[in-house]
Structure 1
């Protein structure tokens, strides 16, 4: 559970704020930009004689699929619209390309917020930040395409009637919503199969499958800074979470995920309003970085150090 006990944090970090009309317009603008960039990528992939353009299109679309999940993340916190209902209506389709169930993600993610720093913490995208940072762990999680397979299993179990929430309790209504969403994922999968059978498999390849190869590692890199190399045994958000100042571009692309301390301190605050709290975070938080390159360099140093220590231990054991 988020705690400011003993941290001496200014109350501004923990103040709630309701979604206003301006916040709603800001989120709708984000949706419009995200779809426009995706459409530009899709058009680039349809230029068969220009391979550089097609590759650029795949990269753009893959990045947007990862970006859409970050927009979905804001929806599941109900901090995008003034009314509750639009959050699921918008959040569900945002997760379709990466087969991320809005309701399943929401239950797991809110549990993550509640139990961060305890043994009950269980994030939906499961890089265990308590494990040692090694090249093997980073590469395995960066290219964890088996998550798509896990979603396929959830789809199968939803149709079979055997889907169960495996991380604590879940309300019956939420379980129905999760099952309905996984069943709904059958539609784009069947559409892909039909298009392929009709001789249009190249569309499926270029508009969905190849961008997924980009989206998976990109999404991992967006999520990685949140809690890795922080004080994961603490329930104090100023110790167990990281914020990155970042540029306007990284703040847009990650949908404010760089301002993660601010988000965990007050998770219902519209993400576009977290920046005004960042100066306070820099004064009182333990884990901050100026930029994403600075953070990734720190991760690589940690992986090198842990690799060197492991080799020394192995050498000592062999001796």
Structure 2
């Protein structure tokens, strides 16, 4: 994905920020997976108090759902120096978070190309919460789960020829990737049944369902209530948040910076923020502040007629 030519960052500084480095991604990925595993072990440890176990369930669920963040970063191929390593980690992170990296990379490229532009940005095909009921349904993860099931059914068996971001040459590659993903899920299900340990449900599906509202809460803030124009300083929101959220989300809360300069690696976004912040139309002091604003006028989130 090409770097935006916004001119908000001078060329020497941009060249320095664009330097890829594998070490930050290794540290971030290992810490993310360690959080997921340790919290999962606490959740599945029967000898612990229920308060500790439920805390483990919540943390493991959030860590599992936010595997979307390394998927996203690696789909940009900016996390690691190696293209092959980016692609492998993206696929595995997608496996954990119920995304398919091969499909998502193309879908996401189109989102960057036509950010928040109705009729062009594929993200705007998802339901827009314009009422309190719709807002709560979105945060619950229901729309995401139902959309995923419909989407995967189409990727496995349906007609994909009308999707502008999938060329005829890419479609067989996407189908193979999705089929391999579901083969892995099938093997995990089979082993879970053989050993009668309920691993697939208790250690993956349930935690993912518990963690999904957190991810929806974060992602809903990225573009909701922003301009439907092509202006990158106005159609995307940066949200200042606490360090653990920035860590789990691989600095994705610096979202306007990411959209303006999508070739920047995640570890360069805080520095980019220092240069870009004065130019942003939507800079929020936190996610609660964003959602308070959204809740004041949910009908305003509707797509323009």
TM-score (norm 1): 0.82
Contact 2:65 2:212 in 1 (8 A): yes
What displacement does 1:94 show? 0.4
- 1:235 correspondence with 2:251: no
**Which entry has the higher C-alpha Rg, 1 or 2?**
1
- 1:84 correspondence with 2:79: no
What is aligned with 2:43?
Answer: 45
Deviates more, 1:287-296 or 1:131-140: 131-140
What is aligned with 2:170?
Answer: 174
- 1:105 correspondence with 2:104: yes
Distance 1:280 1:133 in 2: 34
Change over 3 Å in CA distance of 1:213–1:169 after alignment to 2: closer
Distance 1:242 1:28 in 2: 27
Give the paired residue count. 297
Unaligned residue ranges in structure 2 (runs of 5+): 301-305
Change over 3 Å in CA distance of 1:87–1:63 after alignment to 2: same
Distance 2:277 2:220 in 1: 20
In structure 2, which of residues 260, 264, 281 is the aligned counterpart of residue 286 of structure 1? 281
Contact 1:3 1:237 in 2 (8 A): no
Contact 2:114 2:120 in 1 (8 A): yes
Deviates more, 1:169-178 or 1:213-222: 169-178
Contact 1:244 1:258 in 2 (8 A): yes
What SS class does the counterpart of residue 66 from structure 2 fall into? helix
Give RMSD over aligned pairs.
Answer: 2.9
Change over 3 Å in CA distance of 1:209–1:284 after alignment to 2: same
Distance 1:67 1:293 in 2: 18
Unaligned residue ranges in structure 1 (runs of 5+): 307-319
Distance 2:96 2:147 in 1: 15
What displacement does 1:152 show? 4.2
Contact 2:36 2:60 in 1 (8 A): yes
Change over 3 Å in CA distance of 1:205–1:169 after alignment to 2: closer
What is aligned with 1:197?
Answer: 193
TM-score (norm 2): 0.85
- 1:119 correspondence with 2:118: yes
Instruction: Spell out the pairing of 1:121-140 with structure 2 (5 A cutoff).
Output: 121-124=120-123, 127=126, 131=128, 133-140=130-137
What SS class does the counterpart of residue 104 from structure 1 fall into? helix
